[in-house]
């Protein structure tokens, strides 16, 4: 091959490599653009949903055509979003006017958010008091489908290492908080919840069936607190009490965790007392009023007098 021919071949090869490299770059750019477009479309869709919810909220009741004009969206888009919101229970349609309005579902979500904020804020004071008095770990946990989720925690002063943190989920059946939440449910509801639980044994002492858990719930409710006797973590025990909302519903569990080696009968009794007082104090701040048993009415004088 002559020198000129070789140079020509190299230039051709370089051009082909450049073309293939350029095509690969173009394909990568296209894929990146597609992903970017998908993210943009998703964000745009979410924006449309909230725009429609806001417009309905501002208007009280509104129709498809008016929503379309006000928001600058096509009637097809508005109708599609409205039907989705209606199916999810956030919007309802008035039969006579065929106009749409918001349902109480949004209020319920907002109330839950406020309740969680109030709960953590009110619980923090009492949890810190228990932590200072005992130097043990204190948790606040709530029900989360088939588990509990920790929504607040005060760490132990002893450097106690636990598999718990705010936002972590732990099993219902092997935690004191879980047993408390189940014990104050309707028995049928508790059974239904447990039917979806996977009974993994965290330790050799973990309860392994729904029937085993259900059998202890009456005692938990009668004594007013739940126990975890090394069922979630070996060497650790836990006691928990319920926290009530203003309607008398149990919305969380308040617990104290400690090493088994520090758990004498007197210590346990002291911890139960601290937890019970704190649980009632938090509940009271949330609007709960403890039920009172009315004293029997005295007999009329003529009936009560011995004959």
The confidence band for 41, taking pLDDT boundaries of 50, 70 and 90, is: low
Rounded to an integer, the average pLDDT of 44-48 is: 86
Q: Is the pLDDT of residue 21 over 90?
A: no
Backbone torsions φ then ψ of 243, nearest 5 degrees: -120, 130
pLDDT at 40: 54
The confidence band for 264, taking pLDDT boundaries of 50, 70 and 90, is: confident
Could you tell me the CATH superfamily of domain 112-285? GAF domain (3.30.450.40)
Across the chain, which distance is largest between two alpha carbons, in Å? 141
pLDDT at 118: 82
List the chain domain ranges. 24-102, 112-285
What whole-number distance in Å separates Cα of residue 192 and Cα of residue 278?
30
Q: Is the pLDDT of residue 175 over 60?
A: yes
Q: What is the tens place of the pLDDT at every residue in 178-217?
A: 999 999 999 999 999 999 998 988 899 999 899 999 999 9
Q: Is the pLDDT of residue 300 over 50?
A: no
Q: How far apart, in Å, are the Cα atoms of 288 and each of 33, 85, 240?
A: 55, 34, 18
Domain 24-102, second-level architecture: Orthogonal Bundle (1.10)
Q: What is the mean pLDDT of the chain?
A: 83
Q: Does 101 or 112 have the greater pLDDT score?
A: 101
163 by DSSP, 3-state: which? coil
pLDDT at 157: 85
pLDDT at 106: 82
pLDDT at 3: 47
Q: Is the pLDDT of residue 7 over 70?
A: no
pLDDT at 18: 47
Q: Is the pLDDT of residue 301 over 80?
A: no
Rounded to an integer, the average pLDDT of 112-131 is: 84
Ranked by mean pLDDT, the top range of 117-126, 214-223, 283-292 is 214-223
Q: Provide the CB-side half-sphere exposure for 64 (13 A, CA).
A: 12
pLDDT at 89: 92
The confidence band for 4, taking pLDDT boundaries of 50, 70 and 90, is: very low
Rounded to an integer, the average pLDDT of 106-125 is: 77
What whole-number distance in Å separates Cα of residue 300 and Cα of residue 146?
54
pLDDT at 146: 87
What whole-number distance in Å separates Cα of residue 279 and Cα of residue 277?
6
Q: Does 109 or 275 have the greater pLDDT score?
A: 275
Q: What Rg value do the Cα atoms of the chain yield, rounded?
A: 31
């Amino acid at each position: 091959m002559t020198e000129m021919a070789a140079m020509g071949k190299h230039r051709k090869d370089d051009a082909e490599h450049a073309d293939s490299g350029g095509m690969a770059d173009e394909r990568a750019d296209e894929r990146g653009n597609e992903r970017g477009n998908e993210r943009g479309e998703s964000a745009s869709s979410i924006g449309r949903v909230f725009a429609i919810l806001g417009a309905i909220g501002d208007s009280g009741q509104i129709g498809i055509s008016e929503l379309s004009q006000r928001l600058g969206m096509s009637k097809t888009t508005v109708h599609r979003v409205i039907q989705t919101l209606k199916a999810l229970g956030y919007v309802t349609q008035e039969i006579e006017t065929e106009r749409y309005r918001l349902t109480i579902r949004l209020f319920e979500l907002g109330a839950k958010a406020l309740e969680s904020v109030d709960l953590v804020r009110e619980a923090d004071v009492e949890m810190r008091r228990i932590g200072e008095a005992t130097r043990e770990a204190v948790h606040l946990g709530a029900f989360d489908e088939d588990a509990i989720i920790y929504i607040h925690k005060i760490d132990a002063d002893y450097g106690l290492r636990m598999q718990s943190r705010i936002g972590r989920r732990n099993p219902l059946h092997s935690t004191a908080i879980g047993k408390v939440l189940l014990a104050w449910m309707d028995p049928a509801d508790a059974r239904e919840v447990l039917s979806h639980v996977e009974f993994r044994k965290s330790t050799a002492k973990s309860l392994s069936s729904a029937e085993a858990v259900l059998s202890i719930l009456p005692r938990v409710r009668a004594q007013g607190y739940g126990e975890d006797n090394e069922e979630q973590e070996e060497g650790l025990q836990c006691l928990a009490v319920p926290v009530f909302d203003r309607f008398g519903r149990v919305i969380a569990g308040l617990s104290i965790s400690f090493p088994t080696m520090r758990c004498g009968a007197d210590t346990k009794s002291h911890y139960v007392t601290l937890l019970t007082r704190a649980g009632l104090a938090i509940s009271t701040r949330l609007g709960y009023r403890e039920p009172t048993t009315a004293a029997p009415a005295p007999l009329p004088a003529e009936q009560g007098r011995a004959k």
